Amino acid sequence: MPLRLDASAPGFDRDFASFLARNRDTDENVDRVVAEIIADVRARGDAAVIDYTRKFDKVESDAAGLRIPDADRRMAALQVPEAQREALEFAAKRIEAFHRELLPKDVDFTDDTGTRLGARYRPIDSVGVYVPGGTAAYPSSVLMNIVPAKVAGVKRIVMVVPTPGGILNPLVMLASEIAGADEVWRIGGAQAVAALAYGTRSMKPVDKITGPGNAYVAAAKRRVFGQVGIDLIAGPSEILVVADRNNDPAWIAADLLSQAEHDASSQSVLVADDAAFADAVAVAVDAQLKVMPRAGIAGASWRDNGCIVLVPNIAACAPIVDAIAAEHVELALEPEAAEVLSHRISHAGAIFIGRHTPEAIGDYVAGTNHVLPTSRAARFSGGLGVADFLKRTSIVACTPGSLAALAPAALALAEAEGLDAHGRSVSIRLNRRG
């Protein structure tokens, strides 16, 4: 059974703090294994990647065979039924439209001292996109990573995806075609991250790596950060549903299980204002688990990591929601109440407002991005977007007059910091014209 907490009960603060402190990540041995793999790929390049691909994916290949030919992925994509093709194209168009609205604008102005200031946004040259390919295929993740990169203007997009047994997933291949991947490679795990970061004889390195993966992929991204940029360290999926007693318990149960089915380490949390309703949701979860194809995974997630929090006033639950800082937050309330509460919440990867907005819509076709912060990282970061594929360069241009206006403060600060050459580079210009 999931953990039950009552915000009105004595000891709630202690028990809630203990819940927040739970670690759902895998053991420390993962980082040790990943460090060895990365070092091996750096040392042996293609040979190491080939060996790991044979070991983990049971794929025999030479270096040339690691890259999937465009003709092969097009052939695989042709196997996708028309309805699924149309769904992917529909989703891609919505994702593109939303992210075009997020494109930042260059800034260029002259302030009251006569100094010109500005900022220019330019795309990253090359990006590597990791796509999971183990227990499940995620063509939606292909779109969520590559489409914003295309909107940003990234010149080279390299997709890596494991192909267990050498089998290409038609949906993933089609998504790579629709989104516009320039290269697709049949490698996964920490070895793929290492190859993207450091390059091999066959694969040129990239400048940034994005995309979700398992614990080994997350650990590898953490280790190569600095050599390349990364989007975020993705942990197990999460959903928090705020629901009052006026909801259908079956709807809320389905929402909770929508993330629980990802992984046994996923977390589903219900915040409710009525104990009887919460009990009804728990009963509905058990009923739906009996007919779910991924019942083993979802059941373990709900049993080991699920939580029901009872609150006396659902309109005032924002502090609890913010403390959990979940990846996905559903507000299954009347529209006005949901809207008001949404503005009180500061820490959430994405907020889904109203009873008719299940989180799964955001996973696929809303247009917003489903690559979101987990493990309470929503306290300090947001989800993947077009800005993640852009760099901002500041622009400064002084005239003789504006330099003279700024110089006294600059000289005072250089002196305070004991940086004589800083100050001299300013003062030496004050006696010159032109």
**CATH numbers and ranges of domains, the chain:** 30-102+122-230 (3.40.50.1980), 235-381 (3.40.50.1980), 398-434 (1.20.5.1300)
Choice among 99, 328, 347, 370 that is catalytic? 328
Q: Is the pLDDT of residue 317 over 90?
A: yes
In whole angstroms, what is the distance from residue 208 CA to residue 205 CA? Answer: 9
Choice among 183, 327, 330, 359 that is catalytic? 327
pLDDT at 135: 55
pLDDT at 412: 98
Contacts of 84 by beta carbon, 8 Å cutoff, 6+ apart: 171, 174
State the pTM of this model.
0.93
pLDDT one-digit tens code per residue, 395-408:
999 999 999 999 99
Mean pLDDT (whole number) for 55-83: 96
Residue with tokens 């600059």: 410
Known active-site residue 328? yes
Percentage with pLDDT > 70 across the chain: 98
Q: Is the pLDDT of residue 146 over 80?
A: yes
The confidence band for 133, taking pLDDT boundaries of 50, 70 and 90, is: confident
Mean pLDDT (whole number) for 305-314: 97
The confidence band for 136, taking pLDDT boundaries of 50, 70 and 90, is: low
